[in-house]
Amino acid sequence: MAAPEEAYWTWRNIVSPLFDVAVADKQAVGSFKVKIDSYHLGPLLLGSVASSAQEFRRSQATIARSGVDHYLVQLYPVGGYAGDAEGRTVHVRPGDLSILDMSRTLHTRAETFQNLSLVVPRPVLEPLVRNPDGLHGLVLSGESALGHLLATYLSTIYGAAGSFNSEDGARISNATASLIAGCFGPAADAHETTTVAKRAALILTIKRYIDNNLAEPSLTIDTIAREFRLSRATLVRMFEPLGGLAGYIRARRMLRCFNEITSPAYGHRSIAEIAYSCGFNNEAAFSRTFRRMFDISPREARAEGALAHRTIKHLQPGSDGSGRPILAEWIQYLGV
């Protein structure tokens, strides 16, 4: 029965552990409406909210301030929302369900809506899914079999919640968490598989870009990040299993130098010229790094390469006539 402005500020206070909320302007504050009821079911909290259009944001500051890192499962019988869940685009339509990880950031805009919200503590749900980090921002269509099942279940629980005592709530909490895990878990696994595949394809593309630009002294983490529109931190994480991006670039440059130094096709070029053409600008430092990586000096590698070439040319039957073994060609360009 509160006036619209009072209702708005009361609502902001109630929901502050989960979100910072805002409306478009003073006119929206003056016409704001919200209706809330909720039930404490042992480990779970179930509620219904019907409200005017608004913006929801969960920033790092909100996360730190609230100390809440539960999961929030929502069914939207009316309305929905759209936005970004820490890099994942989210679009919830009427009838859909979503799951949000309250330890992660979020920014969404909701039209006039009515939802059922279930707050699930992390220790209750997390052990039941294989990829708990993949849940944030997942949407389950209300038209899917699993979506229909979970929507029906939540609606049933909400309809009976007024007659539950605390023991009833505790009894159904594990079953509820198991059903949520069964419905959202496969989607999280599928998303992780897709994400891994996309990441692998992107890494391969970046590797090829690096190989095509080894001669550029300006080939750095920052230039690659700009080229592929990635944050520096993301790029560094992607190449961490490969010894780091800077280390990977240096190793690829060294391998290119090794191949050219030991190849008769580059015999007319000095070692210094080859080093400079691969992005090195200090011959002494290059020689030290070369020896450290290959346990041989650049001059010794050139001599060994010339000797191997003469031996192969006379003794290798599997040659294409140019003196280079065909099998070596296949191996070198495998997957290119």
CATH classification at residue 241: 1.10.10.60
Taking the mean position of all CA atoms in its chain, how far away is CA 181?
20
The pLDDT of residue 150: 93
Structural domain tally of the chain? 2
Whether residue 25 is found in the same domain as residue 94: yes
Output the pTM of the full model. Answer: 0.59
Claim to verify: residue 167 and residue 228 sit in the same structural domain: no
Domain boundary among 141, 168, 196: 196
SS (H, E, C) the chain: CCCHHHHHHHHHHHHCCCCEEECCCHHHHHCCCEEEEEEEECCEEEEEEEECCEEEEECHHHHHHHCCCCEEEEEEEECCEEEEECCEEEEECCCCEEEEECCCCEEEEECCEEEEEEEECHHHHHHHCCCHHHCCCEEECCCCHHHHHHHHHHHHHHHHHHHCCHHHHHHHHHHHHHHHHHHHHHHHHHHHHHHHHHHHHHHHHHHHHHHHCCCCCCCCHHHHHHHHCCCHHHHHHHHHHHCCHHHHHHHHHHHHHHHHHHCHHHCCCCHHHHHHHCCCCCHHHHHHHHHHHHCCCHHHHHHHHHHHHHHHHHHCCCECCCCCEHHHHHHHCCCC
Count of alpha carbons within 13 angstroms of residue 248, beta-carbon side? 23
> 191: burial class by Cβ within 10 Å (0-12, 13-18, 19+)?
middle
Q: Residue 207 domain-assigned?
A: no
Question: What does the pLDDT read at residue 308?
Answer: 55
What pLDDT score was predicted for residue 303?
82
> Which CATH number does the domain housing residue 68 bear?
2.60.120.10
Note whether 181 and 259 are same-domain residues: no
The reply to whether 205 falls in a domain is no
Domain boundary among 147, 163, 196: 196
Q: Are residues 132 and 187 in the same domain?
A: yes
Q: How far apart are CA 48 and CA 115, in angstroms?
A: 6
Range of the domain at 91: 4-196
Q: Which of 140, 168, 196 is the last residue of a domain?
A: 196
pLDDT at res. 307: 60
The reply to whether 192 and 217 lie within a common domain is no
Same domain, yes or no: 110 and 253: no
Per-residue pLDDT of the chain (336 residues; tens, 9 = 90+): 679 999 999 999 889 888 999 999 999 999 999 999 988 887 888 999 999 999 999 988 888 777 788 999 999 999 999 999 988 899 999 999 999 998 889 999 999 999 999 999 888 888 888 888 888 999 999 999 989 999 999 999 999 888 887 678 778 888 898 899 988 887 655 455 445 556 777 888 898 899 889 888 788 889 998 898 888 888 888 888 888 898 888 888 888 888 888 888 888 888 888 888 888 888 888 888 888 888 888 888 888 766 655 554 544 445 455 554 444 444 444 433
Per-residue confidence (pLDDT) for residue 335, from 0 to 100 = 39
Q: Are residues 171 and 307 in the same domain?
A: no
Clarify whether residues 15 and 144 are in a common domain.
yes
